[in-house]
């Protein structure tokens, strides 16, 4: 399934200050999530963040927080249980997901989105867990559950569709 920019929403799950230092390659995960969010903003795709119990884990890292038009604070691991579904515009059926931890909040949020009939894409190079085996198991489960697996660049070029896209050169600076 190719991604339509005008039907997409980007959700950045729990890229939080106190969590990220314990994530395997956490800096790379943040870098890729921020790169994807910047591309989404250039292409006028809504960016929503989630924060799991921010009073304990802190807010999302500032580089992520500043790119989100809205942040859903949640207690459930599945963000859909705490208002994420309501935050996604009804005409945007494709939800692109990045964040942490892959095997907990990303997995359960994606399952909730799928249960609500949305098309879900997991951006595999922009998700993370403390242990790589957990991340890899989450990716496998999500693929079997019906989520599309993609990378930042796959999503970016699908959103644009053509090198004639009016913002192609702006996006290309983030891809190179």
Q: Which residues of 129-151 are buried (b: 16+ CB within 10 A; e: fewer)?
A: beeeebbeebbeebeeeebbebe
Is residue 163 exposed (0-12), middle (13-18) or buried (19+ Cβ within 10 Å)? exposed
Q: 92: helix, coil or strand?
A: coil
What pLDDT was estimated at residue 109? Answer: 98
pTM assigned to the model? 0.96
To 10 degrees, what angle do helices 152-160 and 26-42 make? 0
pLDDT at 176: 79
Question: Class of the 5-175 domain?
Answer: alpha beta
User: Which pLDDT value is given to residue 2?
Assistant: 66
φ, ψ (nearest 5 deg) of residue 152: -55, -50
pLDDT of residue 20 exceeding 80, the answer is yes
| pLDDT, tens digit, 9 for 90 and up, residues 100-124 | 999 999 999 999 999 999 999 999 9
Taking all residues of the chain, what is their mean pLDDT, rounded to a whole number?
A: 95
Do 136 and 124 form a contact (C-beta atoms < 8 A)?
no
Q: What is the pLDDT of residue 172?
A: 86
Q: Which pLDDT does position 101 carry in this prediction?
A: 97
Residue with tokens 């692109």: 96
d(CA 109, CA 54): 17
pLDDT beyond 80 at 135: yes
pLDDT for the residue numbered 48: 98
Q: Domain residue spans in the chain?
A: 5-175
Calculate mean pLDDT across residues 145-158: 96
pLDDT value, residue 49: 98
β-sheet bridge partners, residue 119: 94
pLDDT tens digits, 39-97: 999 999 999 999 999 999 999 999 999 999 999 999 999 999 999 999 999 999 999 99
């Amino acid at each position: 399934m190719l991604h339509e920019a005008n039907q997409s929403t980007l959700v950045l799950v729990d890229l939080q200050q106190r969590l990220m230092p314990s994530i395997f390659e956490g800096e790379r995960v943040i870098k890729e999530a921020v790169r994807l969010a910047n591309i989404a903003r250039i292409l006028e795709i809504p960016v929503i963040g989630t924060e799991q119990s921010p009073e304990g884990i802190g807010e999302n890292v500032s580089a992520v927080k500043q790119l989100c038009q809205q942040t859903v604070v949640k207690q459930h691991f599945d963000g859909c249980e705490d208002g994420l579904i309501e935050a996604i515009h009804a005409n945007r059926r494709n939800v692109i997901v990045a964040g942490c931890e892959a095997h907990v909040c990303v997995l359960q949020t994606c399952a909730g989105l799928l249960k609500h009939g949305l098309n879900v894409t997991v951006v595999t190079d922009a998700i993370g867990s403390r242990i790589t085996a957990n991340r890899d198991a989450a990716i496998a489960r999500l693929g079997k559950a019906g989520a599309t697996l993609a990378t930042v660049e796959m999503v970016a070029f699908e959103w644009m569709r053509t090198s004639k896209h009016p913002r192609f050169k702006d996006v290309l600076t983030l891809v190179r």
